[in-house]
Amino acid sequence: MKFGILLKEGPYNHQAADTAYQFVKAAMARGHEVEAVFLYNDGVYNVTNLASPPQDDRNIVQRWSELGDQGVEILSCIAASKRRGIADEVLSRNASITGLGVLTDIAIRVDRLMIFGD
């Protein structure tokens, strides 16, 4: 099965980011394909290098980058990013900024679009 992920919550104020990450890892471990993770609303904070969590805390930004290393496309909504002051130069590796039209394309191509967050 091919999945697309829509993540709408930030990394440390809501469980959605952790749940989405764990879902992607589990799906890939079971042989499913995760085509892309699209970050919308506060979800765009999941890929900013401006975050610097303490060493004893999970580094969600690094987790998403590692999934990008495994071929999962990590996309940040341009409108949501600009509203929050996030530009290309502060994105983590393997993340890119794109428009909402790409989310529509993802939803058409995948078997299931999983939505995490309110």
What is the spatial distance between Cα 96 and Cα 38, in angstroms, rounded to a whole number?
Answer: 10
Geometric angle at alpha carbon 98, from 101 and 105, rounded to 5°: 30
Instruction: Considering the candidates 77, 78, 97, 110, report the single residue annotated as catalytic.
Output: 77
Cβ 33 vs Cβ 1: under 8 Å: yes
Cβ 7 vs Cβ 114: under 8 Å: no
Annotated catalytic residue 77: yes
- Tokens 């992920």 identify what position? 5
Geometric angle at alpha carbon 40, from 80 and 115, rounded to 5°: 165
Cβ 64 vs Cβ 95: under 8 Å: yes
Active site residues: 77
